[in-house]
Amino acid sequence: MGPDRRGFLDHRRLLDRRERRWRSSDRLDGDRRRPPLSLVVALVLACVSLMVLDQQAGEDSPVEGARRAVGEVVGPVEVGASAALRPFVAVPDWFRSHDSLRNELDDLEAENARLRNDARRADYDRNRLEEYDGLTAAASDLGHSLVPARVVGLGASQSFSNTVTIDAGSDAGLRADMTVLNNDGLVGRILRVTGSTATVLLLVDAESVVGGRIGRSLEVGFLHGRGAIGGDARLDLELVDESVVPAEGDSVVTWGSDGGAPYVSGVPVGRVTTVFSSLRDSSQRAVIDPYVDFGALDVVGVVVPAGTGSDRAVIEADGTMR
């Protein structure tokens, strides 16, 4: 065996010895890192014992002091972390709450708007209901059937300066020369009709002439309009018997026309406010304040014959509706 062969074998044996030492060292290190099984069992038993003892002892638990110490250290940290995270955690709830409140606010605003609108309309609806009730009473008092209608136009664009348009016409059984009244008294007469509307000449028009009767004396005369509407609306009454002197405050009703056209009898017109006497011809003239406010006309009734066909409800002479 030559020198080179011996050197190689010596080197190989040296490497084998080192490898055995390394393996032996790894086993020792592993044994040192791995706790003995008896120690693990002892720790588990100790933990179980502490838990049982802590549960049975309650406030007198031997670990209460340690728990309190840990709480004093960890508690402030938890409070700080919670305060720091609360805004971020609350963001989804804020959006949900904000949307809910926005919807509730929208609902409340809509409800308030409806209530305000109802409050604004309350007087209007109440007045309209009173006018319908007044028409029912008028039909019963006069003994005539009435077709209710509403004033929908006041007319400079029409043939006469003191006319109104109502929302009922021939389809409701109306025709020219029918008496128009409301719950206060005489309004006027129908001039012309269409299928769904009618034009009414007002009592106060300058071209209007109505036969009237003084309520107390039953003396008759003729009422002439002055052409004014509103607070200045007045009528002039000229009596047929010029010797009769009407009294202030006397009421005036319609005299009535043959066949009830254009005016039925007994409809209230107004009251006497002033009487003028002419010494030269011994005549009397009375000024009449009409009962109807012609500047605030709304609901009116048109006198129709009993049994008239109509496309709307009719107030019968006995106050019932058909």
- CATH 2.40.10.340 in the chain is located at 127-304
Inter-axis angle of helices 64-89 and 91-142, to 10 degrees?
Answer: 60
**Structure confidence at residue 96 (pLDDT):** 63
Three-class SS state of 245: coil
Percent of the chain with pLDDT over 90: 32
C-alpha span between 235 and 175 (Å, rounded): 26
Percent of the chain with pLDDT over 70: 63
201-222 tens-digit pLDDT = 999 999 999 999 987 788 889 9
**Structure confidence at residue 167 (pLDDT):** 94
| 108 pLDDT higher than 70 | yes
Paired tokens of 200:
């009414």
Task: Name which of 22-26, 163-167, 317-321 the model is least confident about.
Answer: 22-26
Q: pLDDT tier at 28 (50, 70, 90 boundaries)?
A: very low
Topology of 127-304 in CATH?
A: Thrombin, subunit H (2.40.10)
Task: Name which of 44-53, 112-121, 134-143, 288-297 the model is least confident about.
Answer: 44-53
C-alpha span between 230 and 242 (Å, rounded): 30
CB 193 within 8 A of CB 166: no
Higher pLDDT, 137 or 107: 137
Higher pLDDT, 213 or 26: 213
Tokens 């638990």 identify what position? 61
**Structure confidence at residue 58 (pLDDT):** 57
Tokens 């009449």 identify what position? 288
pTM here is 0.62
